[in-house]
């Protein structure tokens, strides 16, 4: 029964010390962030462990000025970010979802606010709102636009799929399965539901996000209900 020994278990599950990238996918559902006297934004509540000297600071409601304050007061986004600063290894995860790391090179992407696990402090972030009753009912109203150069880690339920958007082939997605998309795409929310079915959560068959133009959309094989939090 040597294969069930503690020594074998430790060898199988221990941290991989061969690489120490800034953002390192240590396990499919866990991100290791190697801080060297720098800061990073992480999703509040995502820290599962750390080593070294790292301090955590909740994002203030007034950070980013009055405009962001009003958006955060409305959306609850202000309670979702935590700044980690110092030197050491930080491990973050989110409910067993898979971690995907993207390198932005003077680029812009939009991500569902609930699906951001961590991002480089150098990236500019701004909350965007899809102004439609459909977005309110589906829970897919608020997204975060990230722009600049740096790393961002997002999470997905299962393995994601990227759909390419072309001028002659728009893409329609369920808001609750939509994770991220090209920053220059402006999705439109449309509804096929009747007034009689307005009560209750709309399904992907009743609400869709329409992406037109040239770009890409990232979806996951799961319809996630996003709960807004109060500050």
Q: Is 2 within a domain? A: no
Q: Is 5 within a domain? A: no
User: Pairing between strand 215-219 and 178-182?
Assistant: antiparallel
Query: Would you say residue 105 has pLDDT above 70?
Result: yes
Q: How far apart are CA 26 and CA 43, in angstroms?
A: 17
Q: Is 76 within a domain? A: yes
Q: Is 198 within a domain? A: yes
Q: How far apart are CA 230 and CA 75, in angstroms?
A: 8
Query: Would you say residue 101 has pLDDT above 80?
Result: yes
Q: Is 143 within a domain? A: yes
Total domains in the chain come to 1
What pLDDT band is residue 72 in, cutting at 50, 70 and 90? low
pLDDT at 60: 57
Whichever domain contains 70, its CATH number is 3.60.160.10
Q: Is 14 within a domain? A: no
What phi, psi does 165 have (nearest 5°)? -105, 130
Q: Is 3 within a domain? A: no
Q: Is 12 within a domain? A: no
Give me the domain span that covers residue 185: 19-219
Mean per-residue pLDDT, 195-205: 49
Mean per-residue pLDDT, 31-56: 95
Query: Would you say residue 195 has pLDDT above 50?
Result: no
Alpha helices (H) in 14-163, listed in sequence order: 66-75, 133-138
């Amino acid at each position: 029964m040597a294969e069930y020994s503690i020594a074998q278990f430790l060898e199988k599950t221990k941290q991989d010390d061969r690489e120490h990238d800034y953002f390192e996918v240590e396990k499919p559902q866990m991100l290791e962030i190697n801080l060297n006297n720098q800061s990073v934004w992480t999703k509040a509540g995502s820290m599962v462990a750390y080593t070294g000297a790292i301090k955590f600071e909740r994002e203030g409601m007034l950070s980013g000025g009055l405009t962001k304050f009003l958006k955060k007061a409305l959306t609850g986004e202000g309670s979702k970010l935590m700044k980690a600063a110092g030197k050491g290894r930080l491990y973050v995860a989110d409910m067993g979802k898979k971690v995907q790391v993207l390198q932005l090179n003077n680029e812009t992407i939009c991500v569902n606010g609930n699906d951001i696990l961590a991002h480089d402090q150098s990236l500019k972030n701004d909350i965007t709102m899809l102004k439609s009753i459909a977005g309110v009912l589906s829970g897919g109203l608020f997204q975060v636009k990230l722009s600049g150069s740096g790393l961002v880690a997002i999470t997905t339920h299962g393995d994601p799929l990227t759909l390419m958007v072309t001028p002659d082939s728009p893409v329609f997605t369920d808001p609750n399965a939509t994770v991220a998309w090209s920053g220059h795409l402006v999705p439109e929310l449309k509804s096929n539901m009747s007034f009689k079915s307005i009560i209750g959560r709309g399904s992907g068959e009743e609400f869709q996000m329409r992406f037109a133009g040239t770009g890409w959309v990232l979806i996951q094989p799961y319809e996630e209900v996003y709960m807004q939090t109060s500050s």
